[in-house]
Amino acid sequence: MQYRPHDYQAYATNFILEHPVAAVFLQMGLGKSVITLTALHELILNRFEVRRALVIAPLRVARDTWPDEIGKWDHLQGLTYSVAVGSERERRAALMQDTHIHIINRENVKWLVEKSRVPLDYDMIVIDELSSFKSHTSQRFKSMLQLRTSVRRIVGLTGTPSSNGLMDLFAEFRVLDMGKRLGRYITRYREEFFRPDKMNGMQVFTWKPLPGAEDEIYRRIGDITISMKSVDFLKMPECLSNRVTVSMDDVECAVYDQMRKQLVIDLRGREIDAKNAAALSNKLSQMANGAVYTGDREMIRFHDRKLDALEDLMEAANGQPTLIAYWFKHDLTRIQERFPEARELKTSQDIHDWNAGKIPVALIHPMSAGHGLNLQAGGSSLIWFGLTWSLELYQQTNARLWRQGQRADTVVITHIITQGTIDEQIMNALEHKDKTQAALMEAVRAQLMKPVVRGKRGGSA
């Protein structure tokens, strides 16, 4: 795919190139990965300033997102990588590969530094979700400091650097600049910028910023930091569409294939069948989402791929209000099981609370989104967990956030797509504005003829 960067993406890439230490704070879905990979390509293959880079990310992001992004864009051809996840043997084998980029999940940073027994030969580190290192007492943070000392270039990526307040910034910037801007010790940082707030005797539970502390902290880190709030390249508001792809394993693909070809399967001891093409489309959509109904409306669980991806997205949001669109009732059930704090928007009070910022995770069905329902005051991020064939419902749901009165610079709409399933046909139909019924029937025909595409698996590439 050809990469045509937005102005802010080109700006952010150049910022990384020009700043050996860089903090890039962009909202979820704005392309932090491709921005950084474009810089890595330039530094490694054109300028020869970096020989090998280490990318540290959440598990599923390390395993799936970064490899997918490298393979997705034409301009990144030539970059080689290995993914150090899985068993200890698989991780070590991946780290021994002579590739331009080693990708590892953040949970294994301590293992990498203390137990891997592989040369830590890196010129550059990329931390995807810098907020994962906001605790100065964590083993992850302490191991990261050891790794950081021998590396000249480092990039920290996140959309939410201080979800719990300014105190978070200390550890994050301690990792980036080794204490140059906010100090080397948390005690000194607290004394300079905070005063005790809630206390029990001599024990301090919370700290309150001193007058002017916020401005001074931002001034100190400003030379190595960019964020969407400081880069005015996007029109107001811009709507960005994003895809997050998940993959079923071989067994799940085989079951999906059988349903697609034979219109009947045995799942968990229950028979699932489809009487016609429309019913087949419905069953395949359910299976792509991770569960399916029997004839008597019993929910049979199939996989948790989308739930896992949603969990990663919610972690990246780090408390920022997020609206989730679901389609089947079992989607709602399983999402609320995984995220007990998620609240369905059903009543006027629910809508009022969302717009007042009282609901961090909201759930909505496209058929209840309605014409003219105003939700833009509550947030600017929408995630499609389950898709709809209806272009009207799709556009109207998106318009709940992407509309006049939206206070954010950008509305980000993310679609969770199960690879090789009917999800891809639905998404393509929506993007190309095909007529609903014709697109549905064509996609079902394609599903009946086309084998499932397996995702790449394994610990390295």
Q: Which residue has the tokens 């964590």?
A: 138
Does 76 have pLDDT greater than 60? yes
Same domain, 239 and 223: no
Range scoring the smallest mean pLDDT among 20-24, 119-123, 249-253, 456-460: 456-460
Longest dimension (CA), the chain: 72
In a domain, 396, yes or no: yes
Same domain, 112 and 202: yes
Domain count, the chain: 2
Average pLDDT, the chain: 86
Phi, psi of 189 (to 5 degrees): -60, -45
Predicted confidence at residue 438, as pLDDT, reads 37
Same domain, 370 and 244: yes
Residue 15, both tokens: 């910022």
pTM recorded for the entire structure: 0.64
Please answer whether residues 214 and 161 qualify as being in contact, where contact means their C-beta atoms are separated by less than 8 angstroms. Answer: no
Predicted confidence at residue 89, as pLDDT, reads 94
pLDDT tens per residue, range 383-399: 999 999 887 788 878 88
Predicted confidence at residue 459, as pLDDT, reads 37
* 46 band by pLDDT with thresholds 50, 70 and 90: very high
Same domain, 221 and 348: no
Can you give the residue range of the structural domain that contains 58? Answer: 7-227
Nearest partner of 129 among 165, 155, 158, judged by Cα:
158
Indicate which CATH number applies to the domain containing 444: 3.40.50.300
Indicate which CATH number applies to the domain containing 94: 3.40.50.10810
Same domain, 215 and 334: no
Region 76-103: mean pLDDT is: 95
Q: What residues pair up with 21 in beta bridges, in sequence order?
A: 154
pLDDT tens per residue, range 296-310: 889 999 999 999 999
Q: Which long-range contacts (CB under 8 A, 24 or more apart) does 294-297 make?
A: 294/270, 295/271
Same domain, 169 and 261: no
In a domain, 1, yes or no: no
In a domain, 2, yes or no: no
Predicted confidence at residue 236, as pLDDT, reads 53
Distance (Å) of CA 415 to CA 37, 66, 223, 284, 432: 22, 17, 34, 17, 15
Strands (E), 229-360: 238-246, 264-267, 270-273, 291-293, 299-301, 322-325, 343-344
Which has more confidence, 344 or 215?
344
